[in-house]
Amino acid sequence: MPEGDTIWRTAAALRRGIAGKVVSDARPTAIARLKGRRVESVEPNGKHLLMRFEGGIALHSHMRMTGSWHLYRPGERWRQPAWRATAVLSFHDVVAVCFAAPVMELVRDAQAPVAHLGPDILVDPFDLDAVIERAHRSEALTLGELLLEQRVCAGIGNIYKCEALWALELNAWMRPADLDDDRLRRLYLTARDLMRRNIVTPIARQHHAVHGRGGRPCPRCGTPIKTRVQGQQARLTYFCPHCQDEPAGKAVRLE
């Protein structure tokens, strides 16, 4: 699943490839109005990507679990079948293709699709006070679910949820109200540090402490890492049962 740092990489690559250039063709017909317009900017916002065009129009895409933008030279073979393309923007020297994005829409007000989001975890300066205030208003039942709530803080996905909780030895099933503000602040700052570090690390060299490592030893204590489904969205949480404790009470029966 693309997380905030992946969207940042994507936006940076698109910016290098197409910013300032004029669209020579745009498909499907729902976005054909982009033809002849110049790309003004490409901006990541949490897990959303906003491409602004001259004339005050923007293309909003949300990658969710499946979407990805690719850049190709004209005539180059695509890495996914054409039927999976949800947007194809052609320029004189490059083609930008988005595959399998569940949200792809033209919007007049570029801020509208992202107005509900909390502060972006990767933006400078990071508005941590606003995140904590939003966290207090959240109805998330557990810390794991709180971290994924994009209305509280935009950009954290399942990987950095697991990694940040492990880094601070916090139980993902803990009630957010049981964590004091100092530790809550440290939790968001830890997720931010981990994600910012990964923006500059090649994907092949990235490794995680717990995410994707079920059954393998915890880097801190050697206990085998466990996985358990968490929350209404049934996201898989990786955790060390020694450093972070087992889920307590009712959470255990969710399995």
Active site residues: 2-3, 47, 235
Q: Does 218 bind Zn ion (CB under 5 A)?
A: yes
How far apart CA 123 and CA 146 sit, in angstroms, is 19
Q: Given candidates 78, 220, 227, 245, which one binds Zn ion under the rule CB under 5 A?
A: 220
Instruction: Supply the minimum distance, in Å, between the C-beta of residue 12 and Zn ion.
Output: 34
Does residue 208 touch Zn ion according to CB under 5 A? no
Measured distance CA(163)–CA(178) in Å, rounded: 20
For Zn ion, which residue of 63, 184, 240, 251 counts as binding (CB under 5 A)?
A: 240
Q: Would you say 91 or 166 has its CB closer to Zn ion?
A: 166
Question: Which of 18-26, 116-124, 172-180, 215-223 is the region at the interface with Zn ion (rule: CB under 5 A)?
Answer: 215-223
Q: Report if residue 95 touches Zn ion, rule: CB under 5 A.
A: no
Identify residue 20 by its one-letter amino acid code. Answer: G
**Distance (Å, whole) CA 100 – CA 112:** 22
Least separation, in Å, of the C-beta of 148 and Zn ion?
22
Q: If binding is defined by CB under 5 A, does position 143 make contact with Zn ion?
A: no
Residue number with CB closer to Zn ion (104 or 240):
240
Q: Which amino acid is at 93?
A: D
CB hemisphere CA count around 190 (13 angstroms): 19
Q: Examine residue 242 and tell whether it contacts Zn ion (CB under 5 A).
A: yes
For the four alpha carbons of 36, 94, 203 and 227, in that order, the dihedral sign comes to positive
Q: Which range of residues in 24-32, 157-165, 194-202, 234-242 is near Zn ion by CB under 5 A?
A: 234-242
Query: Which among 58-66, 152-160, 196-204, 213-221 is the span making contact with Zn ion, rule CB under 5 A?
Result: 213-221
Is residue 172 near Zn ion by the rule CB under 5 A?
no
Residue 243 binding Zn ion, by CB under 5 A? yes
CB of 221 to Zn ion, least distance (A): 3
Which residues neighbour 169 within 8 Å (Cβ) at sequence distance 6 or greater? 243, 244
Q: How many CB atoms lie within 10 A of CB 74?
A: 11
Cα–Cα distance for residue pair 121/93, rounded to 1 Å: 33
From candidates 1, 221, 229, 252, binder to Zn ion by CB under 5 A = 221
Which span sits near Zn ion by CB under 5 A: 30-38, 68-76, 201-209, 217-225?
A: 217-225
C-beta closer to Zn ion: residue 1 or 221: 221
Q: Residue by residue, what is the 3-state secondary structure of 56-109?
A: CEEEEEECCCCCEEEEECCCCCCCCCHHHEEEEEECCCCEEEEECCCEEEEECC
CA-nearest of 114, 100, 128, 132 to 47 is 114
CA distances from 15 to 22, 42, 133, 189 (A): 13, 6, 33, 27
| Distance of closest approach, residue 166 Cβ to Zn ion, in angstroms | 8
Binding site for Zn ion (CB under 5 A): 218, 220-221, 223, 240, 242-243
